[in-house]
Structure 1
Amino acid sequence: MAVIKKCYRLGWLSGLLYGLVVSSSLLAADDNAAILPKVTVGQLVRLPEIASAYVPSRPIDVWIPAGYNSRQRYAVLYMHDGQMLFDASKTWNGQSWQVAETAQWLQQQGEVRPFIVVGIHNIGAARHSEYFPQQPFLSLPEAVQQQLYQLDRAPGVSLFAGAVYSDNYLRFLVTELKPYIEQHFATDPSREATFIMGSSMGGLISWYAQTQYPQVFGGAAALSTHWPGTFSVENNPIPQAFLSYLEQQLPAAGQHKWYFDYGDQTLDALYPPLQQEVDRLFRRKGFSAPLWHSELFAGTDHSEQAWAARLATPLRFLLAKPTKE
């Protein structure tokens, strides 16, 4: 218990994380789940509730670009924390990723292939349990797992709402949501046209999705990936568990796109040395441009505003037009 408690000792950074990560999941999910965001370009569609055998139901918003043509086939980008993607007037912090505006502009400029975006809302208190990569978590000693389950993200509020169930979250996405999208929208179902993206904990579940379902996803983008898993890196076994998992489970280089980025301010100040360890692993396994990219955005923090400002970079990377052979 001493190791985990030391790892999770409260301080300015944990308080900051409460504001930047916990509030974004809890407040956005609780207050705005029933409110349809507005977009200035394209169209946003709120899906009917999808009954799942694996996860609790939640809102799901699909953005389709202006000029959408049902006779065309569109790539699909699945994004986590869907309530934070489109409309800053509906979010807890008055910020959003501005996904519609950036995606529409890139498509109009001809810089990317035509695509739609599926924004999957988180469900608040269960976000950590849903997004934490399950197999690395289970690789930790049982005693460490139980210590993590006892952590609080705020006084009297558990970090984990229950057991980690990210494997079921991905089953929902792959076996229930993806078939629904393909049935109701004009999409290309192939791996080469299916992508996944998120930030912070959403970054973790994005790279994990591609290792678990390499036959489904052709590219993953992880922005400001929350490699510590908790609030600190001090005596924290989690980053090594992620590295060990990636060492064993990464698909062979040359088959998928992998994008990572990170800042160095606020919560992102924890990430540079951890991301650099991950980068070394990828290089050692033969990953290189143009299918692998990792970038430091110096001076940037852990916020939707920061991710919006650089969103065009991962979108260009994932959704570049296929080269003609």
Structure 2
Amino acid sequence: MTRLKALFALLLSIVAGPALATTDDPSAMVPAVSEGRVVTWPSLDGGAAGRMTVWVWLPPGYDARRGARYPVLYMHDGQNLFDRRLTKFDQVWGLDQAIPRMVRQGDLRAWIVVGVQSPRSRYDSLFPAKLFPLLSPGFRKRVSELDSGDPKGPLAGDDYLRFLVGQVKRRVDREFRTLPGREDTAVMGSSMGGLMSFYALAEYPEVFGQAACLSMHVALASPTEKGVDHASAAVEVADVFRRYLRQSRMRPGINRLYIDHGSKTLDGSYGPYTDRLVPVLEAAGWRAPNFMFRTFSGAEHNETAWRERVDIPLAFLDRRDP
């Protein structure tokens, strides 16, 4: 393998599937948590997005406070949230530590966290399907070949969202004491999960009142691909988002949107793209306090970096924070 091919393979491991579990069957594993408890729903049918396990983390006090109802945070790549045994890179978000800590500090309500396992074809299933036809033919080719190196069939992002909203959320609200409305329902993820969080808010703004998109893969295809004019690609991506926003029902006066990225590893290549995207969002009316964009100097593209700053998006998502 040439050096260029090796570097491209490394990029694919980060973007297309950064966190496949180390076990053959992570769906059979129950994450160990430092506080609260986890309910596991193994191998649910996500249609074209494939079968995925769902882990529901109940915060400390949930069982004792029988009359209390809780806001709910839905997260992608759920195997990376709590327990290193389920991860590939031995790094986790540590939500079972961050949320109780912030609750004790008076900075956050206690949230239920619902983690959905990464789809088998992660890039295909977390790509915003309605953005794809807005891209130029050449850009569509780059997207189609990124995950496997070969042209693929239809993207499964809409199927993934139907699974999340129609199956997972419906069951969560039925089986647990939730606050099911928009203002108490949020979605968060990183990289492709960040992109899918944006899409979830845009497609289902009446379900998800707020979204946090950490290290959002705003470039849509590889932001480090050789032979690509990334300045021009960033202009096209911004225009695609502008056109898509015209058909989206999310509204800056009602919904809340958080986007960030770091400056090292893959995150370091996102700057030219967010430099174009953020003005598009601002022109569409996205401003504080319902919009926040942050960059973090020195932060890399991994769970350790997201863990270190997770308090910021958590506080942003909780519009009723104490």
The CA distance in 2 between the partners of 1:285 and 1:314, in whole Å, is: 21
For residues 11-66 of structure 1, the C-alpha deviation after alignment (integer angstroms, 9 at most, x for no partner) is 78635423433452445585533222211111111125444556422110011111
Q: Which of 229, 238, 243 is matched with 2:220 structurally?
A: 229
Is 1:113–2:109 an aligned residue pair? yes
Q: Residue 85 of structure 1: CA displacement?
A: 1.0
Give the AA of the match of 2:276.
Answer: E
Where 2:270 maps in the other structure, the secondary structure is helix
Q: Residue 113 of structure 1: CA displacement?
A: 1.8
Structure-2 residue corresponding to 1:206: 197
Q: Which moved more, 1:64-73 or 1:19-28?
A: 19-28
Please, what TM-score do these two structures have when normalized by structure 1?
0.86
Q: CA 1:322–1:316 in structure 2 vs 1: closer, same or farther (change >3 Å)? A: closer
Is 1:14–2:8 an aligned residue pair? yes
The CA distance in 2 between the partners of 1:188 and 1:116, in whole Å, is: 10
For residues 47-104 of structure 1, the C-alpha deviation after alignment (integer angstroms, 9 at most, x for no partner) is 2544455642211001111111341110000000011111123311110111110011
Where 2:197 maps in the other structure, the secondary structure is helix
Contact in 1 for aligned 2:45/2:52 (Cα 8 Å)? no
Structure-2 residue corresponding to 1:44: 38
Q: Residue 227 of structure 1: CA displacement?
A: 1.3
The CA distance in 2 between the partners of 1:257 and 1:16, in whole Å, is: 33
Structure-1 residue corresponding to 2:99: 103
When the two chains are superposed, the root-mean-square deviation of aligned CA atoms in Å is 2.5
Contact in 1 for aligned 2:57/2:112 (Cα 8 Å)? yes
Q: Which of 24, 40, 51 is matched with 1:57 structurally?
A: 51
Structure-2 residue corresponding to 1:4: none
Where 1:221 maps in the other structure, the secondary structure is strand
Q: CA 1:232–1:51 in structure 2 vs 1: closer, same or farther (change >3 Å)? A: closer
Structure-2 residue corresponding to 1:6: none
Contact in 2 for aligned 1:16/1:267 (Cα 8 Å)? no
| Structure 1 segment 244-259 matched on structure 2, within 5 A | 244-249=243-248, 251-259=250-258
The CA distance in 2 between the partners of 1:159 and 1:296, in whole Å, is: 34
The CA distance in 1 between the partners of 2:20 and 2:130, in whole Å, is: 25
Contact in 2 for aligned 1:54/1:172 (Cα 8 Å)? no
Give the AA of the match of 2:8.
Answer: S
Where 1:279 maps in the other structure, the secondary structure is helix
The CA distance in 1 between the partners of 2:209 and 2:215, in whole Å, is: 20
| Unaligned residue ranges in structure 1 (runs of 5+) | 1-8
Q: Residue 291 of structure 1: CA displacement?
A: 1.1
Give the AA of the match of 1:307.
Answer: W
Is 1:122–2:148 an aligned residue pair? no
Q: CA 1:106–1:30 in structure 2 vs 1: closer, same or farther (change >3 Å)? A: same
Give the AA of the match of 2:80.
Answer: M
Is 1:84–2:80 an aligned residue pair? yes
Identity %: 36
Q: CA 1:52–1:15 in structure 2 vs 1: closer, same or farther (change >3 Å)? A: closer
Please, what TM-score do these two structures have when normalized by structure 2?
0.87
Contact in 2 for aligned 1:229/1:239 (Cα 8 Å)? no
Structure-2 residue corresponding to 1:197: 188
Q: CA 1:65–1:307 in structure 2 vs 1: closer, same or farther (change >3 Å)? A: same
Contact in 1 for aligned 2:21/2:79 (Cα 8 Å)? no
Give the AA of the match of 1:199.
Answer: S
For residues 166-221 of structure 1, the C-alpha deviation after alignment (integer angstroms, 9 at most, x for no partner) is 11111111111111000111001100101000000001110111111111111000
Structure-2 residue corresponding to 1:139: 134
Where 2:57 maps in the other structure, the secondary structure is strand
Q: Which of 90, 101, 121 is matched with 1:94 structurally?
A: 90
Instruction: Tell me the number of residue pairs that the alignment of Structure 1 and Structure 2 aligns.
Output: 310
Where 1:277 maps in the other structure, the secondary structure is helix
Q: Which moved more, 1:270-279 or 1:186-195?
A: 270-279
Contact in 2 for aligned 1:197/1:203 (Cα 8 Å)? yes
